[in-house]
Amino acid sequence: MTKVILVRHGQTFWNLELKYQGHSDIALTDLGISQAKQVAERLATENISAVYASDLSRAYHTAEFIAHKHKLTVIAMPEFREISFGEWEGLNYSKINDQWPEVMNKLFTHPDEIRIPGGETFRELKERSQSAIERLIAQHEDDTIVVVSHGGTIRTLLCAALDIHLNRVWNIKQDNTAVNIVEYYPDRTMVALVNDTHHLNS
């Protein structure tokens, strides 16, 4: 069994401003750094073999705090980037809704049926991120590994693990530095934990 601990990155400046980030490389806030240190402390007693992260700094920087506790180096994988929000990156909800109201409505009601203008579809996100997870599972039989990524990407990976339709992607909550645990056995996948943030209360 391969145990994969999926962690969302800490708070960023665009999280505060409610702007869509996608592939834009936005730094952690001071609170985001504090959240990253707290999740690293929480995972310090896990027997972690490797730490992987999206190559975007908000995920990579969060991963560095976790890796440091285990004397590991973070391995960057662009496959774990957030969905590309294309022309929406840097805009907030109201500005996007003013210009693309129909697409924005479908983003939340039927996300599997749209392409974000200039960006990706959720199917494309699932294809690249799930393919990367499958490669890591093959490399890490009987290991525990950490993957630090983004809200949309983790939701998509959880949809795959739960074998539920991508139109349910927004039914899964993901807070900053949320911990999710998925166990990959040869004949089944088990989701053991979703959106756990109790470390932020310590």
Check: CB of residue 140 under 8 Å from CB of residue 75.
Answer: no
The predicted-structure confidence for 91-110, as pLDDT tens digits, reads as follows 999 999 999 999 999 999 99
Q: Where do we find the tokens 């890796």?
A: 67
Instruction: Give catalytic residues, as residue numbers.
Output: 9, 82
Percent of the chain having pLDDT more than 70? 100
The tokens for 95 are: 């500005």
Please tell me the distance from the alpha carbon of residue 62 to that of residue 115, in angstroms, as a whole number.
29
Alpha-carbon span 147 to 60, nearest angstrom: 10
Q: What is the pLDDT of residue 101?
A: 93
Q: Tell me the per-residue pLDDT of 35-94, one tens digit each, with 9 for 90 and over.
A: 999 999 999 999 999 999 999 999 999 999 999 999 999 999 999 999 999 999 999 999
Give me the mean pLDDT over the 152-176 stretch: 97
Residues β-bridged to residue 24: none
Task: Look at residues 148, 141, 139, 112 and name the one whose alpha carbon lies nearest to residue 32.
Answer: 148
| Eight-class DSSP state of 74 | P
Confidence of residue 202 (pLDDT cuts 50, 70, 90): confident
